[in-house]
Structure 1
Amino acid sequence: MRDALEQDLNHVLSGALEMLSTVERMLPIAAAVLNDTDTGGMEAVRALDREVDAHETRIEAECLRLIALHQPVARDLRLIALVLKSLTDIERMGDYTVHVAEDGEELSRSPALKKYVNLTRMLDRLQEMAAALRQAISERDVAGANAAHVMDDEVDDLYEQVQRELVTYMLEDPRNISKSLILMRVGRSLERIGDHMENVAERVQYWVTGQR
C-alpha cells in the first residue's frame, strides 16, 4: 500500500514539474515575439499554454484521488498541498506569458520605441528562476528554493527601472504614451510571473521541513 502511495505521489510531483517546465519553454518564445525575432511564436506560446491548462486539470484530479484513496500522513499531505496550491500559480505564469507574447505581437506592428533591454533581462532571469525552482523541488533542496526566491528581487528591481524609464519617455513626447503603456503592461506581467514563482518557492521549505 505504501509503495503504491509513493508511486502516486512521485507521479503528481513529476506532473507539476513538467507543468513548470512547459512554462519555462514558453518564456524564450515570448521573448522572441517581444523582440520581433519569431513571427510564428504567438501560436507556439498559445499551444504550450493549452498544455499547461491540461496539466493543471489532470494533476488536480490525481491529487484529489490520492487523498480519497489513501490515508496520507503529514509529510505526504504537505507534498499534495505543495502541488495543489502551486498548480494555480503555475497556470497563472502561463497566462501572463501569453499576455507578454500578445503585447509583443501588438508592438511589432510599428517601429519599436526602444530596445527592450531590461524586459529581456527580466525574461532571462525568470527562465533561470524556473530552472532553479524545478531543480530545488526535484532535489527537495530548501536552499535552492530560497535562491530562486532571492532571484525575484532582481526581477522586481528591473521592473522598477522599466517603469521609471517609460515614464520619462512619456513625459518627453506624448506620442510615446501608447507604446509605453503597453510596455508597462509587459513589465507588470513579467513581475507577476516572478511573484507566482516566489509563491511556489516559499512552499518548498514547509514541504521538506514541516516549518513555515
Structure 2
Amino acid sequence: MREALETDLRAVLNGALNMLATVERMLPVAADVLLREQVERVDEVKALDREVDAQEAQIEAECLRIIALHQPVARDLRMVALILKSLSDIERMGDYVVHVAKDGAELAQAPALKRYVNLSRMMERLGEMSQNLRTAIAERDVAKAEATTEMDDEVDDLYEQIQRELVTYMLEDPRNISKALMLMRVGRSLERVGDHMENVSERVRYWVTGQREA
C-alpha cells in the first residue's frame, strides 16, 4: 500500500509542477504579444491556458482519490493539501497571463505610449520566480521557497514604479489616459501572478516541516 501511495503522490506532485511549468511557458508568449506586437500569438496563450485548466481538473480529481483510497498520514496529507490549495493559485496565474496577452494585442493597435521596460522586467522576474518555485517544490527546499517569496518584492516595486510613471503620463496629456489605464491593468495582472506564486511558496515550509513559520 505504501508503495502505491508513494507512486500516486509523485504523480500528483509532478502534475502540479507541470501545471506551473505550463504557466511559465505562457509568459514569454504573452511577452511577445505585449512587447513585440506579435498579436497572432494570443491564441497560443489561450491554448496553453486551456491546458492549465485541464491539468487542474485532473490533478484535483487525483488528489481527492488519494485521500479516499489511501487515507494518508500527516506529512503525506500536508503534501496533498499543498497541491489542492495551490491549484487555484496556478490556474489564476494562467488567467492573468491571458489578460496580459489580450491587453497587449489591443495596445498593439496604436503607437506605444512608452517603452515597456519595467513590464518586460516584471515578466522576466516572474519567469525566474516560477523556475525557482518549481525547484523548491521538487526538492522540498524551504530556503528556495522563501527566496521565491522575496523575489516577489521586486515585482511589487516594479509595479509601483509603473503606476507612478503612468500617472505622470496622464497628467501631462489627457489623451494618454486610455492607454495608460490599460498599461496599469497589465501591470496589475503581472503583479497578481507574482502574488499567486508567493501564495504557493509560502505553503512549502508547512508541507516540509509541519511548521507555519520559522
Q: TM-score range by the shorter chain?
A: over 0.9
In 2: Cα distance, 1:56 partner to 1:41 partner: 23
Return the letter of the residue paired with 1:197.
M
- Whether the 8 Å CA contact 2:37–2:108 is kept in 1: the answer is no
Q: Structure 1: 5+ residue runs without aligned partners?
A: none
- Listed one character per residue, the Cα deviations across residues 160-211 of structure 1 (whole Å, up to 9, x for unaligned) are 0000000000000000000000000000000000000000000000000000
In 2: Cα distance, 1:177 partner to 1:37 partner: 20
Q: Indicate the residue corresponding to 1:21 in structure 2.
A: 21
Q: Indicate the residue corresponding to 1:104 in structure 2.
A: 104
TM-superposed CA distance for 1:38, in Å, is 2.2
Using the size of structure 2 for normalisation, the TM-score is: 0.98
Q: Indicate the residue corresponding to 1:207 in structure 2.
A: 207
- Whether the 8 Å CA contact 1:92–1:193 is kept in 2: the answer is yes
Q: Indicate the residue corresponding to 1:116 in structure 2.
A: 116
- Alpha-carbon RMSD: 0.6
In 2: Cα distance, 1:14 partner to 1:7 partner: 11
Return the letter of the residue paired with 2:46.
R
- Whether the 8 Å CA contact 2:92–2:193 is kept in 1: the answer is yes
- Listed one character per residue, the Cα deviations across residues 80-111 of structure 1 (whole Å, up to 9, x for unaligned) are 00000000000000000000000000000010
**Secondary structure, counterpart of 1:40 in structure 2:** helix
- Listed one character per residue, the Cα deviations across residues 114-166 of structure 1 (whole Å, up to 9, x for unaligned) are 11000010000000000000000000000000111100000000000000000
Asked whether 1:170 is paired with 2:170, we answer yes
Query: For residues 146-185 of structure 1, what are the structure 2 equivalents within 5 Å?
Result: 146-185=146-185
Q: Indicate the residue corresponding to 2:78 in structure 1.
A: 78
Q: Indicate the residue corresponding to 2:8 in structure 1.
A: 8
- Whether the 8 Å CA contact 1:155–1:191 is kept in 2: the answer is yes
TM-superposed CA distance for 1:42, in Å, is 0.2
Q: Indicate the residue corresponding to 1:141 in structure 2.
A: 141
Return the letter of the residue paired with 1:6.
E
- Whether the 8 Å CA contact 2:63–2:84 is kept in 1: the answer is yes
Return the letter of the residue paired with 1:147.
A
Aligned residue pairs total 212
In 2: Cα distance, 1:71 partner to 1:192 partner: 34
Return the letter of the residue paired with 1:96.
Y
TM-superposed CA distance for 1:40, in Å, is 2.1
In 1: Cα distance, 2:171 partner to 2:39 partner: 31
- Whether the 8 Å CA contact 1:32–1:38 is kept in 2: the answer is yes
- Whether the 8 Å CA contact 1:36–1:104 is kept in 2: the answer is no
Identity %: 74
Q: Indicate the residue corresponding to 1:59 in structure 2.
A: 59
Q: Structure 2: 5+ residue runs without aligned partners?
A: none
- Listed one character per residue, the Cα deviations across residues 58-85 of structure 1 (whole Å, up to 9, x for unaligned) are 0000000000001200000000000000
